Structure 1
Amino acid sequence: MAGPLAGLKVLEMAGLGPAPFCAMMLADMGADVVRIERPGNTSVTGTTGAYDVLSRNRRILKLNLKEGAALDSVLALVERADILIEGFRPGVMECLGLGPEICLSRRPSLVYGRMTGWGQTGPLSHAAGHDINYIALSGALHAIGRPGEPPVVPLNYVGDFGGGAMMLAFGLLCALHHARLTGQGQVVDAAMTDGAALLSAMMYGMHAAGVWSNRRGENMLDGGAHFYGTYACADGKYVSVGAIEPQFYALLLEKAGIADAAFCDQNATRHWPQLRERLAHIFLTKTRAEWCALLEGSDACFAPVLDWDEAPLHPHNQARQTFVTVDGVLQPAPAPRFSHTPAATPAYAAAAPDDSAGIIDEWGRTDLGGNKGGS
């Protein structure tokens, strides 16, 4: 595999969304990720093969960990791995005989990543939950939505992927840096409640300073400001504006042909609801394409709101190759970009049901991870 993480050996215990997303990120960057799945395991998304995008760039071993030989195979892989990722409830890996104490005794430099919603400790740590519950507890969900309406579910971006998978990936690489300096591995406890709270750091600071309200839809970045939000067009499609800086706001008004003096005091929050209503009527006078012709590519901080089919066709995304097609399946390309170690085009997950011995032998021959300690 090409990429900045080429040579890194990662063992992934198959689980739900955030753990596979984290493993996908590492694999996209060149890590050799081997995923352990139960025989007969099916994706939570209901997709398989090339359609199971979260599983791309992996080798998959089908092992029944209740069998002694399968457990021995996993422990042998642990002895060669740089990172292990698991996303079960606290205690499950211990019951399988693969808890941190056992694994770190086999590979002292191992970075052992644990992905959960509530974390390994705390009164809720053993309760079931999903993304929506974790971001609700963090305060993030409360802040998303329109005034007087229930909070809006932001798909599972904030908990599973942003506050979960990406925080785990960051933690793993931090711990890996320490392991390579000292030979000492450790456990990374990544909780989606913690991660979603951290994503809200700026808002908590603004709230403490008295410049961010607890009321949804009344703040600059939550749709309260008329210059930061989405608007319907004459054809039923939508556009987004984010003209925060005064010079960009002035350009938006100029290009949109708005000479109404009521718009001059940009940051008079008491006028925001009325200005939003007026701006909504203005955007309804043209189609999305007409607004794009006027505003797109300027400093008015404008972009069309594109759907799943439209986004890959936009000229900017095409120029940057933001999307790739793998075995007929259109999907986002690896990100971010690297000037000297670019990632390769992804490949869908390849099953290796009888190759545990071969992978163990391969990892033993090419100990490229650079970890100290262990065998």
Structure 2
Amino acid sequence: MKPLAGVRIIEFDGLGPVTFAGMVLADLGADVLRLTRRADGGAPVFADVGGAVLHRARSSVAVNLKDADDQRQVMDLISVADGLIEGFRPGVMERLGLGPDVCAARNPRLVYGRVTGWGQTGPKASEVGHDINYIALSGALHAMGEPDRPPRPPLNLIGDYGGGAMMLVTGVLAAIIEARRTGSGRVVDAAMTDGSALLMSLFHALAARGLWSDARGANLLDGGAPFYRCFACRDGRFVAVGALEPQFYAALLAGLGLSAEEAPQYDIPHWPALHARLEAIFATRDRDDWASRFEGSDACVTPVLTLEEAPAHPHNAARQTWVGDSPPQPAPAPRFAGSPAVAVPEGAPLSLDDATTRWA
């Protein structure tokens, strides 16, 4: 049995973090009903960008919230749910007649999870934006990229998923625990600006001690250190080097045929020269040659794998980090002792009548 077995979650279908949060909750065993817009609902059906991966492990239920009978049945579902998650702009759910106050009147124990870019309050709350905008305002984006070029977006992992979806999941689960103790639910306001700012806590701490600068590519963990960055290899592929600790750096030097005297680790004024020297050495072999050379050592050198290559790596294969084969998809995480990785069920459509009966 999975940890969230018996927990009921209603997910109002959307794009970005709420879809990922619904997937995570379903992977952990929650019974998640994903409410989608019916084609006759007066608005276009959401683009199916999640497909079989982000929409897995839960039923989709098509509804028309402008239809009085559909809305009544949705409220019946809300009345017996543990949580609700939505990712619309502030005020949208209220205009649909499904705001937190209305839902709490039917179900005082309901945890109402809301994820947006700017949050439910503040001067920018009603404005549009995307991941890149939210992490720009939080200070996270400025730290990423090459020193002589504009900041580079880190996919949408920090705003949408790290600062948004995972903070939403954390808040919803915390509030469900509280609701089971007190009988009262909460509204969870997960803002991607807040969450991505929280993810930068380490760097604020380092900056307060004078150990981090605003200059990109000049710090220990942003590619500024020649022993914590990626290098191009002879075949145009890459290796990742993370030899932070002195003993790991010593193993790196041994594998490269260098001595500590000719390549001191923290001689910071000479880092540019060390960058150039390591670049030249790594360019003499193919990526997989370097991977084999450092396999089993403490040098913290790994190949940089593509999305296509990653599932076949022996470590990932042994742990069943990916499941399925058409195409393979990341398995649920984290793992729980005694619960081996299993195939992930696909999402399946369910009628609103059947969903209401299932939760009756």
| Same fold flag (TM > 0.5) | yes
- What's the counterpart of residue 188 of structure 1? 188
What 5-or-longer segments of structure 2 have no aligned partner?
Answer: none
- What's the counterpart of residue 63 of structure 1? 63
- What's the counterpart of residue 29 of structure 2? 30
- What's the counterpart of residue 263 of structure 1? 263
Q: Confirm or deny: 8 A CA contact 2:250 2:260 kept in the other structure.
A: no
Alignment equivalent of 2:332, drawn from 328, 331, 334: 334
CA offset digits 1:101-147 (Å, max 9, x no partner): 01011110111000100000000000000000000000000000111
**Aligned-residue offset at 1:100:** 0.2
CA offset digits 1:230-266 (Å, max 9, x no partner): 00001111000000000000011011211373312x1
Write the mapping of 1:323-362 to structure 2, written as runs, cut at 5 A.
323-325=322-324, 328-340=326-338, 344-352=342-350, 355-362=351-358
CA offset digits 1:339-372 (Å, max 9, x no partner): 14567521221111xx3233223223xxxxxxxx
**Aligned-residue offset at 1:67:** 0.9
The aligned amino acid for 2:84 is L
CA–CA distance in 2 between the matches of 1:204 and 1:105? 42
Does residue 234 of structure 1 match 2:230?
no
CA–CA distance in 1 between the matches of 2:250 and 2:244? 10
Write the mapping of 1:47-126 to structure 2, written as runs, cut at 5 A.
48=51, 50=52, 53-126=53-126
SS in structure 2 of the partner of residue 12 of structure 1 = strand
- What's the counterpart of residue 221 of structure 1? 221
Q: Confirm or deny: 8 A CA contact 1:80 1:360 kept in the other structure.
A: no
CA offset digits 1:217-240 (Å, max 9, x no partner): 000000000000000001111000
Give the TM-score of the pair, scaled to structure 1.
Answer: 0.92
CA offset digits 1:149-204 (Å, max 9, x no partner): 11111110000011110111011111111111111101000000000000000001
CA–CA distance in 2 between the matches of 1:46 and 1:146? 31
Q: Confirm or deny: 8 A CA contact 1:61 1:356 kept in the other structure.
A: yes
Note closer, same or farther for the CA distance 1:209–1:44 as it changes in structure 2 (3 Å cut): farther
The aligned amino acid for 1:146 is E
Note closer, same or farther for the CA distance 1:237–1:246 as it changes in structure 2 (3 Å cut): same
Q: Confirm or deny: 8 A CA contact 2:144 2:152 kept in the other structure.
A: yes
CA–CA distance in 2 between the matches of 1:345 and 1:6? 17
Does residue 272 of structure 1 match 2:271?
yes
CA–CA distance in 1 between the matches of 2:333 and 2:12? 23
Write the mapping of 1:124-139 to structure 2, written as runs, cut at 5 A.
124-139=124-139
Q: Confirm or deny: 8 A CA contact 1:217 1:223 kept in the other structure.
A: yes
**Aligned-residue offset at 1:296:** 2.4
CA–CA distance in 1 between the matches of 2:167 and 2:145? 25
CA–CA distance in 2 between the matches of 1:47 and 1:79? 28
SS in structure 2 of the partner of residue 198 of structure 1 = helix
**Aligned-residue offset at 1:271:** 1.6
SS in structure 1 of the partner of residue 262 of structure 2 = helix
Percentage of pairs with the same residue: 54
Give the TM-score of the pair, scaled to structure 2.
Answer: 0.96
The aligned amino acid for 1:39 is R
What 5-or-longer segments of structure 1 have no aligned partner?
Answer: 365-375
What is the root-mean-square deviation in Å for CA atoms of aligned residues? 1.4
Aligned residues: 356
CA–CA distance in 2 between the matches of 1:212 and 1:206? 5
Note closer, same or farther for the CA distance 1:42–1:294 as it changes in structure 2 (3 Å cut): farther
Higher RCO by CA contacts (8 Å cutoff, separation 6 or greater): 1
CA–CA distance in 1 between the matches of 2:7 and 2:338? 17
CA offset digits 1:320-354 (Å, max 9, x no partner): 0000016x2211000000014567521221111xx
